[in-house]
Structure 1
Amino acid sequence: MSIRPKLFSFFAGTGFLDLGFEASGFDIVYVNEINPSYMEAYRYSRQVLNLPLPEYGYHYADNGNIEQLTEGEKALRLWYLIQDARKSTDIVGFIGGPPCPDFSVGGKNRGKDGDNGKLSAAYVELICQHQPDFFLFENVKGLWKTKKHRLFFEQLKEKLNQSGYLLTERLINAIEYGVPQDRERIILLGFRQSLIRDIELPVEPSAKFIPEGIFPWATYILYPKQTVFSCPWAATDPFQENSHLPCSNEIIQELTVEYWFRQNDVLNHANAQHHFKPRAGLKRFLSVAEGDDSRKSYKRLHRWRYSPTACYGNNEVHLHPYKARRLSVAEALAIQSLPKTFVLPDKMSLTNMFKTIGNGVPYLASKAIAQSILDFLSTTEWHYEQPSQKQLELPLSPTLFDCQSKALLDVCVAHP
């Protein structure tokens, strides 16, 4: 595959997922976000990183409604942009992680009927109608693991199968890819049957899933979970401000928050002073031991251990290991494995800063998944045994539109 695939990004947040894909060889050509503050931060961070503007621009989903892209004029316009992108690349993909509190055990847990839960169905509908060559769908493990949500997830997958996609999924943990954070997320990937034929992957016409072991999920895993979680990590130490603790030689230092604080030079980062300053409760800050993350809120990280899942909303407070304060934005970005040159704008509210950080896909995890997709698409020889049991063949759904107007396409490209 000699031409860089082009990506349409949905629920883009401030671009953590997009940044990992760009670093791996994809072009982000279209960005859609439902929160205007995140969109502005996305633009700002790209300027700081000196990255090019998306070819087809930035698009704000009014009232968080991406269903508008599946019907009417906006749907037609998006379809024409996709066709224009195909003129200069062999592969067009969709990537996105719909907001997930409705599937999170620690969130609203309203499932498919919640406002955010409905966005997952809308994203799948968008994929089925516009037929990208492949897609990525990211969400919390509750959608995959919780019984009442799993049925909805299976229904989404069946819809994608019926629309002509072969699927593969994995419950990843960001720590496997070098992120200093115990963060599980479900990743669902789908590839159009026509693309599967193009890369000559020999599967049955009725297949719904890519055969086990074919997609290279494990290729870019740096630290297998069994290795990570068998290390003798530090438990707790009495909190003492600005104290010094030696690092054990028996742990993986690269997965500790202190390693990343130093690597990202968080004290001199542009977002170093962006942290909540308590009006009260300082005494409570001082009473929590370093490494005591057992409670719902007021979790104090240990400098020589990885962080629990970066989640800074719903009153979940993470405390600095050896300072009497909450984490700074710079430190939270480091825990999400962002490059130290990634910056959020000063004018963004602290609430939105921490919320978008907690919602984002860790950069190193994104980069590893992107590289795995490229490897899969570039494979020329396949070695596996054909499944013996055949499944019912599912019909391919037609594309959303027939090409009708070159003139309208020209207008869409000229005015994204």
Structure 2
Amino acid sequence: MENELYTIAQVADILSVSKETLRRWEESGKLIPKRDQDNNYRLYSKDQLEQFDEAKILFSTKWDEEKITESIRPYRAIELFAGAGGLALGMEQAGLKSILLSEIDNHACDTLEKNRPDWNVVRGDVSDIDFTPHRDKVDILSGGFPCQAFSYAGKKLGFEDARGTLFFEFARAVKETNPKVILAENVRGLLNHDDGKTLEAIKGIIDELGYELVEPKVLKAVFYRVPQKRERLILVAIRKDLFSNVTFQWPSPYKRIMTMKDALKAGELFATDVPESIGQKYPASKAEVLKQVPPGGYWRDLPIEVQKDYMKKSFFLGGGKTGMARRLSWDEPSLTLTCSPAQKQTERCHPDETRPLTVREYARIQTFPDDWVFSGPITSQYKQIGNAVPVNLASAVARSVVRLLNQIEMAGLKKQKKIA
């Protein structure tokens, strides 16, 4: 693999820098690519990249070892704010058994029930659920609670002070079930939400509930066999009476970055080309503009007069606004999917055809299998997929959780032997 070559787009993803940064590094002599003789593309060799920690981790990954993780016994999971099932499906793939999934959106509940009739889907407001029947019967409680600010009456916020937020309901479920492990996922923005006070309050409450929080980490989906530049903040906490005997290890990255080609064409990720499905359409005026954008391009690639007409007042404002009039590229991962593929601020145009991505294309980019069917009107289907945790990312994290639960199980068995 020493002669393996990487494009500028791939290297930007591997090192988590922009293509502009790589061009500056070339000018300064920090990282000089080879030039492809036929088309003058910048190409980087594997040995060139090994000076960077991010690349070292990718090239020496333990993904294949971790992929064969198996649970010592069936572990039981409860999930709140389950949505269309991205996290739950990843958990299932890792061998965890869902015993309750809570979700308020009816279309998302229909999706869950249609795909997994045996799952115990509880519809409605999470605040109406009594979790006490599951006390001491749950190995992991998970969920992606929405990011909300707390009101700060006192200096230190406690469990009871968080009432009225959805995190309070998550914390209440933890208190009532007493799981061994907590797994929460959220947007990266939670790190700095309300000047960091929101996360500090969450950390304090997790501690008060009797759990030791592993340092939260932002995971980039592109490193976990997901063809999408999506980031999720992951929080893992272990019950304090179990914490001293175990160590949580974050999942290793996959050995390469998946692209739109991997998502929509037959290959390593999917056995067939993406199936046909429903999708939104652009109005004729927008289609006329996007027709002029090259793959991987955006509004700045349009003729100047078209830019001004399309961007209106935004043309004169600062910032890159790189999501506007954006066409995806076959050779790069998708940008983060939103709840609608045709919004002006976050367009996700197909690489070849001048149209938004279809529902099935959206699902593939989130690594849902083709047989995972979404319920409800098309706008709800896009929203369910756009809000989901990418299945392959969820599966990688869940395998790390299974390894953690295996450690807890083994420590418990050793303790029993000593007592005996």
TM-score where L is the length of structure 2: 0.65
Aligned equivalents of 2:196, 2:173: Cα separation in 1: 21
CA 1:288 to 1:45, structure 2 compared with 1: closer, same or farther past 3 Å?
A: farther
Q: Identify the range of structure 1 (129-138 vs 294-303) with the bigger mean alpha-carbon deviation.
A: 294-303
Gaps of 5+ in 1: 48-52, 70-74, 103-110, 202-213, 224-251, 383-416
- 1:335 is aligned with what amino acid? I
> What is the CA distance between 1:350 and its match in structure 2?
1.2
Higher relative contact order (CA 8 A, sep 6+): 1
Aligned equivalents of 1:331, 1:4: Cα separation in 2: 33
> What is the CA distance between 1:191 and its match in structure 2?
1.3
- C-alpha contact (below 8 Å) 1:255/1:306 kept by paired residues: yes
1:100-119 counterparts in 2 under 5 A? 100=147, 111-112=149-150, 118-119=165-166
Aligned equivalents of 1:299, 1:265: Cα separation in 2: 28
- C-alpha contact (below 8 Å) 1:93/1:135 kept by paired residues: yes
Taking only aligned residues, the RMSD between alpha carbons, in angstroms, comes to: 2.5
Aligned equivalents of 2:338, 2:224: Cα separation in 1: 19
The answer for the alignment partner of 1:153 in structure 2 is 199
> What is the CA distance between 1:378 and its match in structure 2?
2.1
The answer for the alignment partner of 2:294 in structure 1 is 289
> What is the CA distance between 1:68 and its match in structure 2?
2.7
Aligned equivalents of 1:189, 1:178: Cα separation in 2: 21
> What is the CA distance between 1:35 and its match in structure 2?
0.3
The answer for the alignment partner of 1:255 in structure 2 is 258
Find the residue that maps to 1:302 and give its secondary structure.
coil
Aligned equivalents of 2:405, 2:274: Cα separation in 1: 41
- 1:24 is aligned with what amino acid? A
Cα deviation 1:350-386 (Å, max 9, x = unaligned): 111111111111111101101111112223899xxxx
> What is the CA distance between 1:278 and its match in structure 2?
2.8
The answer for the alignment partner of 1:329 in structure 2 is 359
Which consecutive segments of 4 or more residues in structure 1 shift more than 3 A? 263-268, 379-382
1:33 has 2:33 as partner: no
The answer for the alignment partner of 2:79 in structure 1 is 9
Aligned equivalents of 1:98, 1:379: Cα separation in 2: 27
- C-alpha contact (below 8 Å) 2:366/2:390 kept by paired residues: yes
> What is the CA distance between 1:20 and its match in structure 2?
0.7
Find the residue that maps to 2:116 and give its secondary structure.
helix
TM-score where L is the length of structure 1: 0.66
CA 1:11 to 1:149, structure 2 compared with 1: closer, same or farther past 3 Å?
A: farther
- C-alpha contact (below 8 Å) 1:112/1:149 kept by paired residues: no
Cα deviation 1:293-325 (Å, max 9, x = unaligned): 553333211011011111134923311000111
Q: Identify the range of structure 1 (283-292 vs 133-142) with the bigger mean alpha-carbon deviation.
A: 283-292
Gaps of 5+ in 2: 1-70, 152-163, 299-320, 412-420
Find the residue that maps to 2:363 and give its secondary structure.
helix
The answer for the alignment partner of 1:343 in structure 2 is 373
> What is the CA distance between 1:259 and its match in structure 2?
1.6
- C-alpha contact (below 8 Å) 1:143/1:149 kept by paired residues: no
Aligned equivalents of 1:161, 1:358: Cα separation in 2: 32
- 1:351 is aligned with what amino acid? T
- 1:80 is aligned with what amino acid? P
Aligned equivalents of 2:222, 2:248: Cα separation in 1: 20
- C-alpha contact (below 8 Å) 2:89/2:391 kept by paired residues: yes
> What is the CA distance between 1:267 and its match in structure 2?
5.7
How many residues align? The count is 298
